[in-house]
Amino acid sequence: MTRRGGLFAPAALLLASMLGVHVLAWWLRPEAFFSDIDSQHYGRLAAQMLNGTFAFEPHTFNDRFGVTVPVAAIYRVLGIGVRTSTLWPLIASLVTIAIVFVATDRTFGRRAALLAALLLATNVVQIDYAAHLIPDIILAVFMVGSAALLYAARDPERGASARPALHGSLCALLLFAGLLTKKTVLWGVPFFVGLMVWDLVRQRRNVRLWTAFLATGVACTVSFLLFYFLATGDPLYPLANVEGAHNELRTSFFGKSRAQYVERLTESPIKFFIRQAGYGHLMLLAVPALLCLVRPLRALPRGARYWAAYLAIVLGSFWFGTTSLRSYNLLPVSPRFLIPLLAPLSILGGVTLARALPDGGGARGARSLQLILAALFLVTGSVAVNFDITTPARCALYLCVGLVFALLASPVRSAVGERVARYGGHAIVAVLSLGILVHHGMGSAVKVANPLRVLEEEFVRDHVAQLPAGAVVLTDEHSVFLVPLLLERCDSNGASVFEWNDAAAIREHAGAPAFVFVNQVTLSLLLDWVDRQPPAFALQAPPDWRCVASESVPEAIMRGLSLPIAGQALMLFQVDDPAELPGSSE
């Protein structure tokens, strides 16, 4: 593969521009944090770690230290804010793109690396969730990083690693970091175990690599169990959280009918990939590499089989795996849950494009790849049109890309066809990535905010921000994190916000005008998350409290809440003596 000349410079410039768009979209979208209650929850936990009030709670979010600990460190250095809350997922997204580029460049050449990185950098799901503090985009770094490191350590074409023990230990540490981020990293473990068995039993090689991998993995696992035993008395506390909280959420498959299980296991994921921007085109580009697992294609290099096997196992685990050891509980098909698939999909997509196009270094069998891709995109577009699976614009996108590949494969080319053949790689990436960005991604970037969060922000701006300077606002443990962030977005007179059972803060501000902010929606969420029972005064205000402001929430929001909210859900009370609040005195 040539590294200079041709379209390398324009492609590199385009990639740099798309990375700039990546960062710009993150900078311009603070609303994403306020619209995502999960992001707020992780931010609140990180803030509690910073101020020393963190406590283990029966919810899966509380033990995802790969999310919260780095954010707490960022808070320590840069302060608590909206952009510091989402800086860690942005860094994770950019590092993932860098890993994709380096891993592809090392094995498949610079052109394939540029195409792979470009596919990921312009992916609307990757761009969207870089502005959300969620574990999946962070988990993707550790999963693809461990897979890339392991490939480099055992690359048969470049020889075995000079430091196999170091590579094995680092690979295990990355997987352990993934375990601390989200337990779904375990769905990638079968790939590593299978590869270890293949090397040790069938090939009898890489013994030092796998010995270090196993030793480090066992040490990390023992430390993990010991930590939870000392902290909670239960070494399996995280698994108990998954069983007791996550698997009983409304999104789980407990209690669903057999027909719903069959639909989830068969047509539902297929329709999702066709419908969902950010996944459909990458899946189609990766299909030729997946076919290599059955019958090698001479147009694709041997290394493609490694990433195809990794993708197949992780995808199969997400598709058919269970989140419960007690019952067959499937994960909902959601764009955020499948983010770890984007990196291997982009690698295989970049390799396929580089080999399928005439200026891809003279790869053999380019025409066969062009025909396969033309058929895949044309059939997908036709099926989507006939069964009304996705929007007409996305159907047209599939059909247009299919026609481009069909034109490239045609033995008789017009002048236009020759031009497409010459610039096909970047033209197709532009159609796939930038076209989807315009059609869907920009809509995702400016999508309408959660109506509840808009209502909360308006209430804080119109009432809490207008309280006199020096006033003290007492509220629940979640709002005490969120309200100051909302106050930063408006002109505030300088009211201080504390948790309503913070006795030290109440004593310190004795004599200041005191107010209680009650958000019954947040209290309902705390009840769902950690079984936190709201205080009696939050459900029924004492008669001597003076209501300063109140606001109701839409009935559609109230319908899904655990608390029986009647009337006003957002309320601001003035109180004479906050020291009389239950729990505010020692």
Given a cut of 50, whether residue 5 has pLDDT beyond it is no
Residue whose tokens read 């006199």: 468
> Would the pLDDT of 380 be above 50?
yes
Collapsing DSSP states into helix, strand and coil, what is residue 209?
Answer: helix
Pairing of strands 472-475, 496-499: parallel
Residue 444 CA to residue 124 CA, distance in Å, equals 8
The DSSP string of 386-448 is HTT-S-HHHHHHHHHHHHHHHHHH-SS--HHHHHHHHHHHHHHHIIIIIHHIIIIIHHHHTPP
| Distance (Å, whole) CA 3 – CA 6 | 9
**573 pLDDT band (50/70/90 cuts)?**
very high
CA separation for the pair 466, 484 (Å, rounded): 13
Q: pLDDT confidence of 132, banded at 50, 70, 90?
A: very high
For residue 248, which amino acid is it?
E
Number of helices and strands (H, E) in the chain? 29, 5
**400 pLDDT tier (thresholds 50, 70, 90):** confident
Find where tokens 């891809």 sit: 360
> Mean of the pLDDT values across residues 483-487?
91
**In sequence order, what DSSP letters do the residues of 8-43 get, joined into one string?**
HHHHHHHHHHHHHHHHHHHHT-THHHHH-HHHHHHH
Q: With contact defined as beta carbons under 8 Å apart, do 105 and 152 qualify?
A: no
Query: What integer is the mean pLDDT of 168-190?
Result: 94
pLDDT, residue 285, reads 93
Quickly state the pLDDT bin for 583 (edges 50, 70, 90): low
In tens, the pLDDT along 251-261 reads 556 567 788 88
**Does residue 485 carry a pLDDT above 60?**
yes
Phi, psi of 489 (to 5 degrees): -90, 5
Please state which of the ranges 322-326, 345-349, 374-378 shows the lowest mean pLDDT: 322-326
Give the mean pLDDT of the chain.
83
Q: With 50 as the cut, is the pLDDT of residue 544 above it?
A: yes
